[in-house]
Chain A
Amino acid sequence: MARLTVNGHVRHVDDDPDTPLLWVLRDTLGMAGTKYGCGIAQCGACTVHVDGVAARSCALTLAAVEGKAITTIEGLAANGLLHRVQQAWIAHDVPQCGYCQSGMIMAVAALLKQTPHPTDAEIDAAITNICRCGTYQRVRAAIHSAASA
């Protein structure tokens, strides 16, 4: 039985220690907002925060996150108020199919925590998520807008 905190709630799960966090979230805890895209930490669709830092949950075992605080897309809004990144995403109408956007938004929220006013080069270095619809231009605009919010 592993103990972890997900979006502020303590959860006990009895998955094997080598189970990827992604599948603990999706299948054991029934939280489908975090997406499977590749399973090898390439695409970033599964990005969550582990103790406030962006991490690709498909390549992170349950053992590695035991006792840690996980934030998923479902927990990004606080007190019913959307996170400024989510608000910027709505203002810029960023998503197309949207499947990669949970991970993209989580990656950006973590970036802004570390680097409140990222340059384009800093965005390029930090946001490496794949979006096959190709909505990167709006992602960039929304990041700058969230940074100045």
Chain B
Amino acid sequence: MNYVPKIDRRSFVIGTAAAGAGFSLGMSLPFGEAHAQQGTPELNAWVVVKPDDTVVVRIARSEMGQGALTGLCQLVAEELEADWSKVTWEYVDPRENVRRKRIYGNMNSTGSNAIRQSHDYVRRGGAAARQMLIQAAAAEWKVPASECTAANSIITHTPSGRKTSYGKVVNAAVKIEPPDPKSLTLKDPKVWKIAGKPIARLDTRAKVTGEQKYAADTQLPGMLNAAIKACPVRGGKVVSFDAAKVKGMKGVKNVLAVGGTAVAVVADTWWHAKTALDALPVTWDEGPGAKVSSATIEATLKEGLEAETPFIGNRAGDINAALAGAAKKVEATYAYPYQNHACMEPLNATARYTADKCEVWTSTQNAEAVLAAAVEASGLPFNNVEVTVVTAGGGFGRRARTDYVTQAVQIARQMPGTPIKLLWSREEDMTQGTYHPITMCKLTASLDANNNLTGLRMRISGQSILAGIAPERLDKGRDPATFQGLNAGGTEGQIGYDIPNILIDHAMRNPHLTPGFWRGVNNNQNAIYLECFIDEVAHAAGQDPLAFRRKMMAKHPRHLAVLNAAAEKADYGKPLPKGVFRGIAQQMGYGSYVAAVAEVSVSSDGLLTIHRIVGATDSGHVVNPASVERQIAGSFVYGLSAILYGGCTVKDGRVEQTNFDSYNSMRMAAMPKVESVLVPSGGFWGGVGEPTIFVAAPAVLNAIFAATGKRIRSFPLKDQGIRTA
């Protein structure tokens, strides 16, 4: 194949985003000619069968703990009729995707999209391979293919009972003309045998023996280690540094400027690099960001709560008339702080650069973006850059960025021929985040004389993720993602209430910190704003929070069904032990409907115990219920960590939290008992990696209000007199 695209970072990333709209490339194109992979021809881009019956499923998305790897293999194996015990996998080389006209579609793994946006074409890959294998066996037996069936990697000629295995016919099968993917009929999920089952993850054993290699574990002959420090004030630059001061320190090989914004020390071991870096005198030009503090950001956001803005997310009826005619009004202002992703595996990348080749080993949520970043940073042509994707120790949105890859290549480029492993310290990770954006929200509700909610006014003020990192995706300056979960319609983030008069708008105020997509993204704060406020309104109306919600959900049956499922499982309405109180919340996003009921107690001196949380999800289809349960439980941990202990504050332009001592995370002692309720209603494919996180905080916050009578509207709770065990 001679297809070599014109590649640059910007057009590549935009192209990747644009492809996200349809995700049809993998199936609108033929599966392509057979490509030899390690001496074994492939049946199509997704499936390789080896003569020993091993099935290799190609994984174009990232595995970062969420279980996409196992789920995608289940989907392919289901259509392939494969013997699950023979199924293995390999990551797709992002260059192959470009060379093969993006046959693998979007390789990005964000927005809970890994399965929900590729299920169709990977299943067609499995189905096409099965058809070719059956045809090959039928041809060998000189019988009609229609008389043959496949199951468990065995093909049977039904009339004669003859059998053969996939591995025995694969060499003939790869020579058969692949079917048109669109001509294939996929299985009804009702008859799934492998997909839809709580099958064990394919990557567990290596993760309990220490054998699993993460990018941070990369070892190459002659490799050196680099530690890096970028200007602690975002937007600042390196003015000078005194390399002579540390060059004589043990193991130090080089002291370098990186991209004008950072300094790095390269040494034999990472500890030597880090020790010398800590001792390196650096003069920064901190830029205008140095004047920013949490107080100045708060003032800016507060101004935005009252300012004029053209950016409207949801409008119906006449909110002003509703508020003017209200029998009762409720008003509250909430705030949600910056958050850091804090993946357990700190960001890292290994690069080797020579005059005609650049190689990168890293973990990422977007292998193609890594490729684009390496092409740009190396200055080499696309064909001279190689990217090896390694399993990620967490992603949560941070590994959708490629800043650490660019830095690794920039360092390697200054030391040609030597492989350099760049590993960020935890302090660097905390200081150089792409943070969950900071926002505030002022909410006003109108109730009529019968305590019906007649109007809802929401003014969001604060940072836009898209303005910060993907401005090409803004809609005439407006950030549509700001309104996740609050939209009037659509399949991504639809509000679950029918409110006759509504106005939700956004005053965009962008502080200097770089924002980023953080598990759940804008649903996190929007669900707190909406669901805690609805709770406030219910109490103002003197009504039960569940009953009050239900009245407004008749036109949103899926939202309502999942809320009911959570309430039923949680025995809502039945008495709780003395001192234990309930809170509920529901939200919709990334194609799925979620709800939670939390049961908490709060001691008089602020000790919060979360006894139990019931989390219900309707994701349409469920590919692996055990994976979904893990994502539900994990979402509570990640979302509650942020609300209990998280929050990044700014002083002199710097994020003040530098490690887990100041940015804590939930541990065993605070972990509630989580009960998952899976209520897939079929007919659609929703995500599961993120949705539950939306309801984690509001369910617990509403329960805290029920327990204490005190409504907390700014976070983290540790700063509001609430602590955990």
> Could you list which residues of chain A lie within 8 angstroms of chain B, going by C-beta atoms?
15-16, 19-20, 23, 26-28, 30, 32-40, 42-43, 45, 72-74, 76-77, 82, 86, 89-90, 93-102, 105, 123-125, 127-140
Contact = CB atoms under 8 A, between A and B. Distances in A.
A97 B345 CA distance: 9
Given A27-B225, A131-B637, A132-B344, A93 B204 contact: yes
B660 interface: yes
Interface stretch (B168-176, B325-333, B626-634): B626-634
Given A98-B208, A98-B212, 10 more contacts: A40-B426, A40-B659, A97-B343, A97-B344, A99-B394, A102-B210, A132-B344, A134-B637, A137-B673, A138-B633
A113 to B, nearest CB: 18
Given A32-B219, A99-B394, A140 B346 contact: no
A130 B203 CA distance: 20
Nearest to A98: B207
B151 interface: no
B20 interface: no
Contacts of B638: 132-134
A27 B218 CA distance: 11
B667 interface: yes
B684 to A, nearest CB: 25
A32 B228 CA distance: 21
A32 B250 contact: no
Contacts of A15: 269
Contacts of B444: none
B481 to A, nearest CB: 23
B661 interface: yes
B271 interface: yes
Nearest to B66: A96
A-B complex: 5 closest residue pairs judged by Cβ atoms: A33-B210, A134-B637, A97-B65, A99-B393, A98-B207
A27 B394 contact: no
B666 to A, nearest CB: 7
10 contacts: A33-B209, A35-B344, A39-B659, A42-B661, A82-B208, A96-B65, A101-B207, A127-B668, A128-B669, A138-B633
B207 A95 contact: yes
A52 B426 CA distance: 28
Interface residues of B, number: 62
B346 A136 contact: no
B668 A124 contact: yes
B394 A97 contact: yes
A86 to B, nearest CB: 5
Provide the main secondary structure of the chain B interface: loop
Interface in B210-236: 210-214, 216-217, 219, 225
Contacts of B268: 27
B205 interface: yes
Nearest to A27: B269
Nearest to B394: A97
B396 interface: yes
B342 A138 contact: no
Given A96-B65, A97-B394, A124-B725, A37 B269 contact: no
A20 B66 CA distance: 32
A147 to B, nearest CB: 15
A137 B674 contact: yes
A20 B544 CA distance: 56
B201 interface: yes
A41 to B, nearest CB: 9
Contacts of B391: 97-98
Contacts of B250: 16
B425 interface: yes
B438 to A, nearest CB: 21
B423 interface: yes
A74 B344 CA distance: 20
